[in-house]
Structure 1
Amino acid sequence: MAKATITNLRKKRLIFSYAMLTPGIIVLLVFTFYPIVYGLPLAFTNYSVIEDTKWVGMANFNRMYADPDFWLALQNSLLYVICVPVIQILAILMAVLVNNKLRGVHFFRVAYFIPVVTSMVAAAIAWKWVYEEKGVLNYILQALGVIKEPVSWMALPGIALFAAMGVTVWKGLGYYMMIYLAGLQSVPVELQEAARIDGASRWRVIWSITIPLLQPFILVCTIMSVMGAVRVFDEIFVMFGPKGDPAGATLVTGVYTYKLAFIDFNFGYAATVGLIVSLMIMIFTILSFRFNRRGGMSYYE
């Protein structure tokens, strides 16, 4: 009788779980998986709203191979990944800081998370004002004596992309900090206290105990931030436009795909570029899971 009751309870929980998942699955099917499946054949056509659609086979891939703008956009997107370790390191340090029982720590947690809930369009517009020659950044740097003349942060090809990276770092820090904070609060306090009793310094405890136990969180956050860096669009588009000015220095794959599809109306070629970028992200994700299996509590088992 008891076994039958437990079995029925498990069935009810299973049904309830699937019922809760169903709305999310429907949304994913309609707005994510269906566009992906529908968009795959477009990569092999010359689909356009102003021309007849024809099957062109590998012609779009051959065009992409010889397209200097694609390679420039891909190069800039891969360069954008530089901001990933910066975000992750700073997010971990911020999580360690706000994980302490300090006075007013809740205020800092909220303050660090405010950029996450701020609209990227609004943030990009605000940062454009910060980066202007007569903007806040130049004013502060000149007041401190760091620079003598205003710097055109958004007009110099060698600086513009890094200026956009600064916006991405600012926007994403609070999000990843909260994930790492959740991970830190799951770390057994006994392990840290035992290490301190044995004479380990605070940084030694963080490096030898906290970081290995955070490995699953680091893996997830790294994959998410790399995907976001390669697919970056909003801040680049708002700050520099669809051509990736100045002189294509900020042209990334997301903006280039948008330009091909909605300015040049070449949806087939745009689908090809999007497909290749998606395959690159998928390969990176698989490799990350393949080489980062160890971590968490299983690390010590």
Structure 2
Amino acid sequence: MFSNKLMRRQAGFAYLLLIPGCVLLLTFTFYPIVRGLPLAFTDYSVIDSTHWVGWDNFKRAFSDSTFGLALKHSLLYVLVVPVLQILSILMAVLVNNKLKFVHFFRVAYFVPVVTSMVAAAIAWKWVYEEQGILNFFLLKLHIVREPIVFMIETKLALLGVMIVTVWKGLGYYMMIYLAGLQSIPAELVESARIDGAGWWRTVRHITIPLLMPFVLLCSLISVMGAIHVFDEVFVMHGELGDPAYSTITTSVYSYKVAFKDFEFGYSATIGLLVSIIIMAISIVMFRYTRRGGLTYYE
């Protein structure tokens, strides 16, 4: 009797702690989503009357070459995800060992996560400049004969922004994977090693399968972040994705359409189409990565 009463009190306290978060989600996430959906079917105007235009905004999106280019760049950005996740897992495996100064390395890897993206993008923009530190080392090591203008070279501009995203996110996902690694029973790894499994076979057949729920979570977050990438592109290359739209993404283009062209309805349409694409990718990822985890093998 006392145990049930204590459990109800603990559950009530837990729900009480959830209320502030739920209020914030309802106010700043779910309400804007519900409120923004009808805008995709209008020519919403702040200062003039709003009219229902039906599917006209969607027809415009499918024939808009700039939106097509922005969508292409956003989908190309998804290529960051496997690189980011593989490197994060390897880093987590490394710092999960009892190494000297391991706590220092954990903190050092996490520093970029707590660094402002605006500050990080400005710093990386300086690194990529013609007289920046990257060209300095490339010239000193005789890898190139003349400075490379990374910020202007259309074939390198988007890749440069991707590198910033990878650098910024490594520590974040590493910490999630580190938590997952520490939840794996040590006796499983020890049994594998006693049976003669080397480091790679242990990681492949024990660590990775048991980490799959964490891989799914991190991959979903990473995919959504990649398709919605905005800060680093906007700070480094502006609202037009200079040079020559070579770095423009859907989020940057949506911002331009809404706050520069004041076409809020069309901007909402772009956001809705991108959300549908993310939903489709998420469903596929759930379908093919649902196996794994400690409970799956019990």
Give yes or no for TM over 0.5: yes
Instruction: Give the stretch that moved more between structures: 43-52 or 274-283.
Output: 43-52
Which amino acid letter does the alignment assign opposite residue 5 of structure 1? F
Q: Is the 8 A contact 1:131 1:154 kept in 2?
A: yes
SS class of match (2:202): helix
Distance 1:254 1:60 in 2: 17
Q: How does 1:194-213 map to 2 (within 5 A)?
A: 194-213=191-210
Instruction: Give 2:275's match in structure 1, choosing from 263, 274, 278.
Output: 278
Distance 2:176 2:141 in 1: 35
Q: Give the match for residue 236 of structure 1.
A: 233
Structure 2, gaps ≥5 residues long: none
Give the drift of 1:244. 0.7
Matched, 1:87 2:80: no
Q: Is the 8 A contact 1:157 1:247 kept in 2?
A: yes
* Deviation sequence 1:121-173 (CA, Å, 0-9, x none): 00000000000011000111111121111111110111100000000000000
If the length of structure 2 is used for normalisation, what is the TM-score? 0.98
Instruction: Give the stretch that moved more between structures: 238-247 or 281-290.
Output: 281-290
Which amino acid letter does the alignment assign opposite residue 127 of structure 2? V
Instruction: Give 1:214's match in structure 2, choosing from 205, 211, 217.
Output: 211
Matched, 1:14 2:17: no
Distance 1:239 1:230 in 2: 17
Structure 1, gaps ≥5 residues long: none
Q: Give the match for residue 37 of structure 2.
A: 40
SS class of match (1:56): coil
Distance 2:290 2:59 in 1: 37
Instruction: Give 2:112's match in structure 1, choosing from 115, 119, 122.
Output: 115
Deviating above 6 A after TM superposition, structure 1's stretches of 4 or more consecutive aligned residues are none
Matched, 1:141 2:138: yes
Matched, 1:157 2:154: yes
Distance 2:4 2:214 in 1: 34
* Deviation sequence 1:152-204 (CA, Å, 0-9, x none): 11101111000000000000000000000001111111111111111111111
Q: Give the match for residue 193 of structure 1.
A: 190
Give the drift of 1:50. 4.3
Give the drift of 1:226. 0.4
Which amino acid letter does the alignment assign opposite residue 260 of structure 1? V
Corresponding pairs, count: 298
Give the drift of 1:118. 0.2
Distance 2:142 2:204 in 1: 37
**Cα RMSD over matched residues?**
0.9
